[in-house]
Amino acid sequence: MASQTLTAESVGLLLVDPYNDFLHVEGKLYGAAEAVIDEVGMLNNMRAIVASARAAGIRIFFVPHHRASPSDFEGWTHVTPYQRGGHDLQLFAVDSWGGEWHSDFVPQADDVIAKEHWSSGFASTDLDLQLKQHGVSQIVLIGMIANTCLESTGRYGMELGYHVTLVRDATAAFSREAMHTAHEINGPTYAHSIVSSDELLVAWSQLPNQL
């Protein structure tokens, strides 16, 4: 971990896209990531990290993806294949079960819910403002997906001056290759720290010492 002295108040846990469509066994994309989810123990690790954050007084920031509607992309000039695929599936659709929070990751009174994003949690949202207003200088990213929304959010956060921590086993992707790329190839180009959930929990247990 980084050798700077931090307090719980200076750390923010970013919980990215904790929707049923990603995290519930009946969700539209759960099956595509199930092998990796099971292999790394993602859900149990996410639960432990969220519980530890609450116990340590670390604020949780929900970073939700745009909820789909049939009119998305009407009149758009440049729609990516990834966006088109999500639209065809109506991922996290407005007013749908799939677009609701997974029951283990429901916002509580002191949590912050950022505005919905299209890929990066920072682009065209209020996440940066919310973090700064709450005195956060280090962000820890967990949730879905390692090589898309987490990567784009973490990279953008680094460019805004945040200390960025990725947690290898509190996220997943659609393949082992994508996970490898996220943490072994791309991650080191922008993240200040890439750790396991166990390492993170040990560090948090020592706050306000070094994280």
Mean pLDDT, range 38-50, rounded to an integer: 98
Task: For residues 86 and 132, give the distance between their C-alpha atoms in angstroms, rounded to a whole number.
Answer: 31
pLDDT at 206: 84
pLDDT band for position 158 (cuts 50, 70, 90): very high
Angle at 145 between CA 69 and CA 109, to 5 degrees: 75
pLDDT band for position 211 (cuts 50, 70, 90): very low
Report if pTM > 0.85: yes
CA dihedral 47, 51, 54, 55 (to 10 degrees): -160
Mean pLDDT, range 50-63, rounded to an integer: 96
- The tens digit of pLDDT for each residue in 130-142 reads 999 999 999 999 9
- The tens digit of pLDDT for each residue in 105-131 reads 999 999 999 999 999 999 999 999 999
Amino acid residing at 152:
S
pLDDT at 208: 66
Mean pLDDT, range 90-95, rounded to an integer: 95
Q: Is the pLDDT of residue 72 over 60?
A: yes
For residue 60, what are the contacts with CB-CB under 8 A and spacing of at least 6? 12, 13, 15, 50, 53, 54, 107, 108, 110, 111, 112
Give the residue extent of every domain in the chain. 8-205
Looking at the chain, how many residues does it have? Answer: 211
Q: Provide the pairing of β-strand 163-172 with 193-195.
A: parallel
pLDDT at 44: 98
Characterize 164-178 residue by residue with b for buried, 16 or more Cβ atoms within 10 angstroms of its Cβ, and e for exposed: bbbbbbbbbbbeeeb
Q: Is the pLDDT of residue 5 over 80?
A: no
Tokens found for residue 170: 């509190």
How far CA 139 is from CA of 57, 82, 131, in Å, comes to: 14, 26, 9
**8-state DSSP, 175:** S
pLDDT band for position 207 (cuts 50, 70, 90): confident
Q: What is the CATH number of domain 8-205?
A: 3.40.50.850
